[in-house]
Structure 1
Amino acid sequence: MKYIKLLLLSFVLFNSLFINAQNSPAPIKLVQFVLTPNHSNWNYDLKENAIVKIAVLKYGIPVNNTKVIYEFGNDEMLPDKTGTLLLKTGTAEINIGTLKTPGFRQLKVKTIIDGHTYRDQVKVGFSPFEIQATVENPKDFDAFWEQAIETNKSIPLEPVTTHKPEFSTPAVDVYLVRLQNYKKGKFIYGYLSKPKDNKKHPVLFNPPGAGVKKINAITSFAEEGFISFTTEIHGISPELSKQDYKSISNAIGDYWSINLDDKDQYYYKSVYLGCVRAIDFLTSLPEFDGKNVVVTGGSQGGALSMITAALDKRVTAVSAFYPALCDNSGYLNQRAGGWPHMFSSKYQFATPEKLNTMQYYDVVNFAKRIRIPGFYSTGYNDNTCPPTSVLSAFNSINAKKEIVITPISGHWRFPETNEKSIKWLKQTCGID
């Protein structure tokens, strides 16, 4: 009987593996849109019309007599025109209009084939490097943050470092680190990765993307010659289970809105100060080369990278991908603001108190204070951190800077862009 049960269990496991192997997710869609702006860089002059070619392909071949439902308007705004097109030969062109002031236009398309709905979008820029931010700059901005950092220094860092051999590699040692920040008994956690060569190295701070979720130990930066520190921001140990994290995330909710009406108690205050504490820790390490301090991240991590670069004069270079929290007041000026879209029509948050608080936390006002070299990257098809908001921050930087734009990408980046970023950081730090 025991043998039969084991045989049945083996059969079930084999059958499950076989079914999973036979149902690997498709890397592409059966039916695909191809949206092609008539400018190869997807950029236009003001008052110039943008023409987009629409193709619907199945097996790579245009689908004849396809009805496409479309809408277009300004970036993340309500569409100013909707309609349908019949693609008799599988392709057609549509004029999505123009802009009189710098910004982006967005085309969304949809078709139904064999009962399945397929969607896509494209955004194009109009003098995007002339986009100006809408957020106001408080007169006491610098004094506010200087005082906050000075006050935070009175809280002992008290680092607790635990070697994690299960995450380490033959070339990299990984440690779980706990730092005290903001208040006694309040902590931030992170994974420290160090090359095992007993040499001096540049240090790299890698803040996280948005959400309340587990962070992972990252060894790739250390493999490139950096001592890296990847952190969380909520004071939650990454050693808790995924279920614990899910429960905590549900309990916290939209953390970016907590105390938004009070600049001294706003949720992100401890987060921004925690970034400076991360630099305190990294620069205290005996393996630090004493001169090169870099920060890099994407989305919320991109925002925190730029904020750290502005707040901490020890930082020597920054690499930020599609930063969040940029020009949040854009929605109050009939254009897209950054993640978390707090002043969009989705939320009823636009009170004077909340608007005042956000001015002290908006990435644009930190971007104006960056004085070190920077590498930046974004895509035009990003709806999470819309290009209107990202370019408003990039254009506010008065320092040596470069940007890699892959217009086709959304809230993600290509491996080639990652490679360019790492190469740039290594060259900046003098790593061979």
Structure 2
Amino acid sequence: MAAYRTLRAITADDAYANLALAEHTAGLSARDAAFATELVAGACRSLGLYDAIIASAAGRPLRSLQPAVIDLLRLGTHQLLELRVPSHAAVAATVELARQVLSQRVTGVVNAILRKVAALGAEGWATRLRTERADAEALLVRHPQWIIDAYADLLPAGELPAALVANNEPPVPHLVIRPGLAEVAELGGRPLRWSPFGVEASGNPADLSAVVQGRAGVQDEGSQLIAWALARVGAPPGPWLDLCAGPGGKAALLAGLARDKGERLLASELQPHRAALVARALDVYPEPKPVVIAADGTRPAWPSNRFVRVLLDAPCTGLGALRRRPEARWRRKPSDLDALVPLQHQLLEAAINATAPGGVIAYATCSPHRRETSAIVEAAEGVEIMDAHAVLPEIPDAARGRYLQLWPHRHGTDAMFLALLRKPVAT
């Protein structure tokens, strides 16, 4: 039931999988919550594949079935093809769930389709889809073709399969301290490979007092490294700006790094509810606290030439965070870039205008796609592109020309992109 409600929230209401899971698994035992999580993550990760299998097994287009019935069939198909759930149990449990959440009249359809799914098994369906669909190979690696093409545009051909496999493997949680408020040793776990601020921990973060008290949080090492790079690069003294700060992970780390230098952070976020999340994350710091505002980064609420370090973690397709947001691969479309790219250009222009002469801008995305990374940076005016990898030289195989590019299969992080830009001092 928890898995079904979560999947419905994702597919019907556009909810984020991680947030919906936290809501609907609250109160479950650790074992049951883990099973519900696997059901949802697996269904989201393989949604395109399972939809093709369901349509083939049903012998009719998917649109002829109720959306709620499709979600039930996705959960049942995942159990039948990927988990060690006996076929009779997977079918019976899904049919009973259909009776509870919908009606008796749909149970026959659910039962018939799932029995056809079970009859072929994973390998049998792979063979059948190859004869039925031109996009079978893309579906079988759980990625739309356009995302495969975007990865292939950047990676050596021999690495592409490993990169796609890595996107299908749930990440181990990474924790991060708020500098000056907690010590890494408090978090237990294994120290991260490159970030000095966090650990890899397989337990429940909510069991740690530092996390409960807000002195530490959950943050992928890739995101930690983006913030650390901006703090490490040389810049004049002065205030810092996080231009698109929600939901607050990078801002919370940057705020502590700014305090270490005797400086202060302004965190801006367009959406008021996300700005509230940022404020909650930063409220743990003592006075003088970082400042949080709800503002449109393309219509700045601050004077030009004001900040010496500016982070622009730009809104993007999220193609580098598919491990943590498996549903995003089927939600996003190539046309989304047509709306995002102009916004990214506008935000970077605003970031440059906000930066004082001699200051540095970190342009980051959780996507490696060329159109929203290097193409954005290389169109910018009034800045010099720095060697971002030279700021974090200890990370192997991360140089992408003058940029830093992380990958799940190489670095165990999200596929974060980073460009560092310096605004020259007028002569």
Give yes or no for TM over 0.5. no
The structure whose residues are more often strand, as a share, is 1
Q: TM-score, normalised by structure 2?
A: 0.30
Q: Computing the radius of gyration over CA atoms, which structure comes out larger, 1 or 2?
A: 1
TM value normalised by structure 1: 0.29
